[in-house]
Amino acid sequence: MFQWASARPYTPTAGFDINGDGLNNILDRLCASANLDAVFAARGNQTAVRALNPNGCALAPVNSQRSGFVVKADGTIEERSGQFFNVDVRIMKGFTLSDRATLKVFADLYNLFNSENLSFTLRPEQSSAFSATGFMQPVSLAGPGFGPPVGRPFTASFGARVVF
């Protein structure tokens, strides 16, 4: 079984009232003109994020982002796609034991290419620029298609069946 899907879109939010409507909630989108690399570098710093996203600016479209950033253990930052890619394979071979019996051996291989399928947001508040640890960073491993997160690395299962 082969599955390949584009990254699920999400909306990076500012975490403060950016459009001047008086509602101080975390769901206001970033400015359309904001440089996401600069906002990511300033994440968690309220003053710097506000400077990059002035009140009254034109807001970015809803669900306009499909990638994010992974911060590695050594501190380096890598931009990553949130696309989903998975290949599962079943290999089966039958052996005749007698006129009435057959031995079937099989191997199930899941996530054959060991793809790391990242999900960058599950809820809008997880992509707020005020969150130093959550803004545009993976929150889980994506599930197959529209399914739940599974996070399964390459896995193999072996078995045998006697049919008589």
pLDDT digit string, tens, across residues 130-146: 878 788 888 777 765 55
Tens digit of each residue's pLDDT (9 = 90 or more) over 34-64? 998 999 999 989 899 989 998 888 888 888 8
pLDDT band at 116 (very low <50, low <70, confident <90, very high): confident
Separation between Cα atoms, residue 55 and residue 51, nearest integer Å = 9
Q: How far out from the chain centre does Cα 108 lie? A: 25
Q: Which long-range contacts (CB under 8 A, 24 or more apart) does 16-20 make?
A: 16/46, 16/49, 16/50, 16/130, 17/55, 18/53, 18/55, 18/57, 18/59, 19/55, 19/56, 19/59, 20/55, 20/56
What's the pTM value of the predicted model, to 2 decimals?
0.68
What percent of the chain clears pLDDT 70, i.e. is strictly above it?
Answer: 88
